[in-house]
Chain A
Amino acid sequence: MTTWQGKLNRIDDYRWEIPISYKPGMRVPGLIYASEAALALMREEQTPEQVANVAFLPGIVRFSFAMPDIHWGYGFPIGGVAAMDATEGVISPGGVGYDINCGVRLLRTSLSEGEVRPRIGQLINELFHNVPSGLGSEGKTKVSQREIGEIMVKGARWAVEHGFGSEDDLDVTEEGGCMESADPGKISDKAVRRGMPQSGSLGSGNHFLEVQVVSEIFDADAASTMGIDSVGQVLALIHTGSRGFGHQVCTDHLRVMEQAALKYGIALPDRQLACAPLESQEGRDYFAAMSCAANYAWCNRQCIAHWVRDSFCKVFAKSAADIGIRQVYDVAHNIAKLEEHLVEGRKLRVCVHRKGATRAFPPNHQGVPERYRSIGQPVLIPGDMGRCSFVAVGTQKAMEESFGSTCHGAGRLLSRSAAKRSLKGVEVARQLEKQGITVKTGDLHSLAEEASQAYKDVCEVVDVVHHAGISRKVAMAVPIGVVKG
C-alpha cells in the first residue's frame, strides 16, 4: 500500500483537518485527533482516505471524526465517529462494525494488590473455568429460542432477572444495558441460531478478562466517586461483545443496505459503506436489529460480570459485599445511537455512529447515571495486556466538538499475522510472567496476536484525547492477571 499523500491542515497540536476539497463528494471535512508523530503511521495505513470516504455519507454533520487510536477498518475506519442528521441522514452497519456493542465493563474491589497477588494464579484459573472463552466458545447453558427473544428486548435486565447481578449494575451501564428500539422481528433465523449457543461467552481474538491494579490516580475526586480510592487497589475489566449474533446481524443487514443504497441513489466510494436513510424501512429495520444485538452484548457482559464476582468470592472465601466488588461502569464501543446534540446553536437529533469509539458525555448530562452526574460519564479505555488501561470521564468539550465521543483503546500496530511471524505465543506468555502478569488462554498460539508489540501505546492515545479535551484522565491501572479469549 502506498502512503496517503493528501493534505492535512494542522488546527492545533492534537487536531488535523482533511479539507472538504480533498475529494469531490465529501460533504464535510475530516477531523483527526492525533499527535504529529502518530500521523505518519496513519498516512502509511491509508486511514485518512477512509475518514474522507465516510464524509461522503448523506446527512453527515460537521465532521467525519477519527480518534487517535484509529486504524484501518472495512469501510469505516476503526476509531471513527460520524453523526448523521436523523431526518435527512443515513445509517450504515459499516459505521458500527460486525461486533455490535463490543464494549468494556469495569468492576472495582476493596482488595489490595498485596491480598490478590499471592492468589492470582488461583483466581485466573477460577475465572478461566467460570467464564467460557476461546474460539467458538459457547455458553454454559444454551438459551432457548424464547429466551434469546427476551434477551434481545431486555438486554442486561434479562440477566439480572435470572439471578446474574443486581439492579445496581444496570444503573451504571450505558443506556441502562438496554436499547428500547430493539425489535426481534427484524432478526433472521440465522442470527438466532448463531446467537443461542454463544450467549454467556467471552469469545476469542482481542476479548479478555483482566485483573488489574490501580497504578496512578490523576483526579482523586472523580476516582473516588467511582469507588477507585487508592493506588494498589484491585479492579477487574471485561472486554467482549455480541459474538456470532452481532456478526450475523451485520452481515444480514449489509446485504439489504447494498440494495438500499442503489435504490435511494446513494453514491459510495466503498461498497462496505452501504447505508440507507434512517427514516427508510431498511434504515429503521437495521437500527431495530442493531439494538437487539446491542442488548444481547449487554446481557453477555452482565452474565460474565456475575461469574467474575463469583470467582472472586470463591477464591477469597468472602461475600461480594465483603470484597467490595461492584460495577463502576459499562461502555459500548461499536454502536449507533439516536442522540440530541447542539449544532450551531440549535438542537439537532442525530444518529451518532461510534465504531471503535466511546461515548463521553459531560457532567450534568441526562444520559449519565445520577451518581456520576457531577463528574461526567466514566470512559473505559483498555490498553494491551502488557501495558495499562485508563479510566477517564466525558467532558463538555466532547459534547461541543465530537458529539460526546472519545477514543476506545490502543489501536493495532501490527497485523495479526505480522505479530505471529515476529513473536511466539509461548515467549509472549513468558515475557508477561516476567513482568508479573499471569496469563491463561486456551489458545497459546494466538497469544502473540495480542502482544504489547502488536499495539500502539495506549498512554499516547489517551494523552491526545486528554489534551484535546474530549475526555479527562482519572486513573490508570496495570494488569496482574489476564484470561485471553
Chain B
Amino acid sequence: MTAKSFEIIDHTADIGIVAYGSDIKELFSNAALALVSLVTDIEGVREDFEREVKIESQDEGGLLVDWLNELIYLLDTEHTVFRRFDITSLAPGCLEATCYGEAIDPQRHTMRMEVKAATYHMLKIDMDEDNGYRVRVILDV
C-alpha cells in the first residue's frame, strides 16, 4: 500500500488527478476515488448497493480513461456515486469491477462540480519497481 492514494492537480481551464497504486488494480481504484472526491465528499457516500462494470479498450491508458468515463456516465444517467471500487479482473484490454455506493441524495450529498469527461491529454501511466504505479489524467470540467 502506498502512502498517498491520489492527488488533485491544477490546470487553468481543467483539473487533473494523479493516482498511485502498489499494483495496477489499486491504481485504477484510486483513480476512481480521485474522480469521486472531485464530485462530492467521499466520506458522505454510503455503500447501499453494488454495481458491476465491464470496460474494454485497446490498452491500459485507454482502459483507464474509459473506466473514468463510465463512472461519469453512471453519475449523469443513473445518478449514482461510489465510495469503494473492487477491480475484480484486469487483463490486457479488459477491466471488470464492482463499485459500491448509492444514489445521489441532494439532502445529504453536496455536489462539487460537473465533470464532462476524462481526457487522453498528457495521459501517462508510470511503473516504478520501488514506488509502484502512478497515473496522471486531465479531466474536462
A194, A198, A271, A417: most-surrounded residue (chain B CB, <10 A): A271
**With known contacts A135-B113, A251-B117, A271-B61, A415–B66 Cβ distance under 8 A:** no
B-contact 0/1 string along A78-90, CB 8 Å cutoff = 1000000000000
Contact of A136 among B111, B120, B123 (CB under 8 A): B111
Could you tell me the distance in whole angstroms from the C-beta of A101 to the nearest C-beta in chain B? Answer: 14
Could you tell me the distance in whole angstroms from the C-beta of A71 to the nearest C-beta in chain B? Answer: 5
Whether the pair A136, B79 counts as a contact (CB closer than 8 A) is yes
Could you tell me the distance in whole angstroms from the C-beta of B107 to the nearest C-beta in chain A? Answer: 14
**With known contacts A136-B76, A244-B76, A272-B119, A259–B12 Cβ distance under 8 A:** no
Q: Which residues of A contact B8 (CB under 8 A)?
A: 417
Q: Which residues of A contact B62 (CB under 8 A)?
A: 255, 258
CB of A477 within 8 Å of the partner chain? no
Could you tell me the distance in whole angstroms from the C-beta of A115 to the nearest C-beta in chain B? Answer: 35
B-contact 0/1 string along A393-420, CB 8 Å cutoff = 0000000000000000000111111100
Whether the pair A71, B12 counts as a contact (CB closer than 8 A) is yes
B-contact 0/1 string along A185-228, CB 8 Å cutoff = 00000100110011000011100000000000000000000000
CB of A75 within 8 Å of the partner chain? yes
Whether the pair B73, A255 counts as a contact (CB closer than 8 A) is no
CB of B128 within 8 Å of the partner chain? no
Distance between Cα atoms of A483 and B130 in the complex (Å):
51
Whether the pair A418, B10 counts as a contact (CB closer than 8 A) is yes
Whether the pair A74, B121 counts as a contact (CB closer than 8 A) is yes
Could you tell me the distance in whole angstroms from the C-beta of B67 to the nearest C-beta in chain A? Answer: 12
Q: Which residues of B contact A72 (CB under 8 A)?
A: 11-14
Distance between Cα atoms of A197 and B123 in the complex (Å):
31
**With known contacts A98-B140, A136-B114, A255-B62, A415–B123 Cβ distance under 8 A:** no
Whether the pair B116, A417 counts as a contact (CB closer than 8 A) is no
Q: Which residues of B contact A193 (CB under 8 A)?
A: 73, 77
Could you tell me the distance in whole angstroms from the C-beta of B3 to the nearest C-beta in chain A? Answer: 22
Distance between Cα atoms of A190 and B76 in the complex (Å):
10
Could you tell me the distance in whole angstroms from the C-beta of A469 to the nearest C-beta in chain B? Answer: 27
| Interface residues in B, total, Cβ within 8 A | 34
Could you tell me the distance in whole angstroms from the C-beta of A439 to the nearest C-beta in chain B? Answer: 18
Distance between Cα atoms of A272 and B113 in the complex (Å):
23
Whether the pair B10, A74 counts as a contact (CB closer than 8 A) is no
Contact of B58 among A73, A258, A270, A413 (CB under 8 A): A258
Q: Which residue of B lies closest to A190 (CB)?
A: B73
Distance between Cα atoms of A45 and B58 in the complex (Å):
31
Could you tell me the distance in whole angstroms from the C-beta of B7 to the nearest C-beta in chain A? Answer: 12
Whether the pair A259, B58 counts as a contact (CB closer than 8 A) is yes
Could you tell me the distance in whole angstroms from the C-beta of A242 to the nearest C-beta in chain B? Answer: 10
Distance between Cα atoms of A348 and B73 in the complex (Å):
40
Distance between Cα atoms of A354 and B121 in the complex (Å):
18
Distance between Cα atoms of A414 and B12 in the complex (Å):
6
B-contact 0/1 string along A414-430, CB 8 Å cutoff = 11111000000000000
Q: Which residue of A lies closest to B13 (CB)?
A: A412
Contact of A194 among B10, B12, B76 (CB under 8 A): B76
Q: Which residues of B contact A259 (CB under 8 A)?
A: 58
Contact of A417 among B15, B61, B122 (CB under 8 A): B15
Distance between Cα atoms of A250 and B121 in the complex (Å):
14
Could you tell me the distance in whole angstroms from the C-beta of A187 to the nearest C-beta in chain B? Answer: 14
Could you tell me the distance in whole angstroms from the C-beta of A49 to the nearest C-beta in chain B? Answer: 11
Contact of A271 among B13, B57, B76, B121 (CB under 8 A): B121
Whether the pair B58, A203 counts as a contact (CB closer than 8 A) is no
Distance between Cα atoms of A75 and B14 in the complex (Å):
12
Could you tell me the distance in whole angstroms from the C-beta of B35 to the nearest C-beta in chain A? Answer: 14
Q: Which residues of B contact A98 (CB under 8 A)?
A: 116-117, 140
CB of B94 within 8 Å of the partner chain? no
Contact of A255 among B11, B57, B111, B121 (CB under 8 A): B57
| Contact residues, B57-103 vs A (CB, 8 A) | 57-58, 61-62, 66, 69, 72-73, 75-77, 79
Q: Which residues of A contact B140 (CB under 8 A)?
A: 74, 97-98, 247
Could you tell me the distance in whole angstroms from the C-beta of B117 to the nearest C-beta in chain A? Answer: 5
Q: Which residues of A contact B112 (CB under 8 A)?
A: 135, 445-446
B-contact 0/1 string along A247-263, CB 8 Å cutoff = 11011001100110000
Q: Which residue of B lies closest to A246 (CB)?
A: B116
Nearest 7 pairs of A and B residues by beta carbon: A74-B121, A271-B120, A272-B121, A247-B116, A74-B119, A415-B10, A135-B111
Since A98-B117, A247-B140 are in contact, a sample of 18 more A-B pairs with Cβ atoms closer than 8 Å, ordered by chain A residue number, is: A45-B12, A74-B14, A74-B119, A74-B121, A99-B116, A194-B76, A198-B76, A244-B76, A247-B117, A254-B120, A258-B120, A271-B121, A271-B123, A412-B13, A415-B10, A415-B13, A416-B15, A446-B112
Which residues of A are in contact with B by a Cβ distance under 8 Å? 45, 71-75, 78, 97-99, 135-136, 190, 193-194, 197-198, 203-205, 244, 247-248, 250-251, 254-255, 258-259, 270-272, 274, 412-418, 443, 445-446
